[in-house]
């Protein structure tokens, strides 16, 4: 069998393929650049990369696409599903890592660490008297998206003594009560009442630009906004303007509409922004779990077994899967 990877997975994942698969590591995020290598590929492993319908259509032997993560907006899932090709994802593998990253941004911003570091290194000891830092205890953390990562973020925030406000269109009021969270049917009301807002939703047509100028104006001028989900959910031009005008106090983002962003990206020029290069899930622990889970799922599919963690389970309605059994986890 043959695996093509846009980038190599970690050593622990590569070891699972030792002596059983030919591996082609492209070090290129665009499979259309190496369609010759895709001709006999059984599996394509996509990290921070794309896989469009053209790449899928020109890979006649392709049986499975693996994503080391839970987001799959960079993969043409519909094109893969139409051909009976499951798109493997790795839910649960990076929950804690992403949640900790979001809360780390909350701490860095609430303690004014970025400005304090810059000013002190420039010789300004008096920055200690800026009086911009504040405690998280007693503040309201508004969590938009209460999937596994959102819930883990809420758990950590509760441990810091914060109150939780929750919005998720799939969350019931009863579920919010069980989480000891205040339930919001309308996320704009959550924006008004939260001291910190943390976003944990997938990028879809419904969530694209769900935080734009209109919504930013609703937030407290002392509020912080955190995004460790997907670029495109927050309108970046509007956020940059809001930060420059003091509409909100600060923001933290791990994701961008264009990755990597341009060097002159207006958002990166904002001093009250903390940014990271889509690395929230890149802890040692999460990387190993995501890689091994992805490889295990791909191997199961190549062997003709149905793997449960896929982007679209309707793929198993395809004729090629009619007689297939489910893989053992």
Q: Which residues are catalytic?
A: 230, 259, 278
Strand partners, 160: none
Calculate ∠ Cα 191-193-194, nearest 5°: 70
Cα angle value 13/86/80 (rounded, 5°): 120
CA distance 141 to 285: 26
**Omega of the bond prior to 260 within 30 degrees of 0, cis?**
yes
CA 27 to chain CA centroid, Å, is 21
DSSP structure string for 35-90: HHHHTT-SEEEESSS-B-HHHHHT-TT--EEEESSS--TTB-HHHHHHTT--EE--
Q: How far apart are CA 180 and CA 213, in angstroms?
A: 30
Say what angle helices 148-159 and 95-110 make with each other, to 10 degrees. 40
How far, in Å, CA of 142 to CA of 189, rounded? 10
The DSSP symbol for 231 reads: T
Q: Which of 239, 236, 254 is nearest to 101 (CA)?
A: 254
Asked if residues 179 and 154 have their Cβ atoms less than 8 Å apart, the reply is yes
């Amino acid at each position: 069998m043959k695996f093509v990877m846009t980038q190599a997975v970690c050593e622990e994942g590569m070891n699972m393929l030792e002596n059983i698969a030919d591996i082609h590591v492209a070090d290129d995020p665009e499979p259309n650049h190496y369609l010759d290598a895709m001709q006999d590929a059984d599996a394509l492993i996509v990290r921070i990369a794309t896989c469009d319908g053209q790449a899928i259509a020109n890979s006649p032997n392709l049986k499975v696409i693996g994503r080391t993560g839970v987001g799959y907006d960079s993969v043409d899932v519909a094109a893969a599903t139409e051909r009976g090709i499951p798109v493997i994802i790795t839910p649960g593998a990076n929950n804690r890592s992403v949640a900790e990253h979001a809360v780390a941004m909350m701490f860095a911003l609430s303690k004014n660490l970025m400005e304090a570091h810059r000013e002190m290194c420039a010789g300004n000891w008096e920055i200690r008297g800026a009086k911009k830092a504040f405690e998280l205890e007693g503040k309201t953390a508004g969590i938009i998206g209460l999937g596994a990562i959102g819930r883990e973020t809420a758990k950590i925030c509760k441990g810091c003594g914060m109150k939780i406000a929750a919005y998720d269109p799939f969350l019931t009021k009863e579920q919010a009560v069980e989480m000891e969270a205040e339930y919001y049917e309308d996320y704009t009301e959550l924006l008004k009442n939260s001291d910190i807002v943390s976003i944990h939703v997938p990028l879809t047509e419904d969530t694209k630009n769900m935080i734009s100028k209109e919504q930013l104006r609703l937030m407290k001028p002392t509020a912080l906004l955190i995004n460790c989900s997907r670029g495109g959910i927050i309108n970046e031009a509007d956020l940059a303007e809001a930060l420059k005008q003091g509409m909100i106090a600060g923001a933290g983002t791990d994701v961008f509409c264009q990755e990597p962003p341009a060097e002159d990206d207006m958002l990166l020029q904002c001093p009250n922004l903390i940014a990271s290069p889509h690395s929230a899930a890149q802890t040692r622990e999460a990387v190993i779990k995501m890689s091994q889970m992805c490889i295990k799922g791909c191997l199961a599919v190549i062997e003709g077994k149905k793997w449960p963690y896929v982007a679209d389970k309707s793929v198993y309605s395809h004729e090629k899967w009619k007689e297939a059994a489910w893989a053992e986890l």
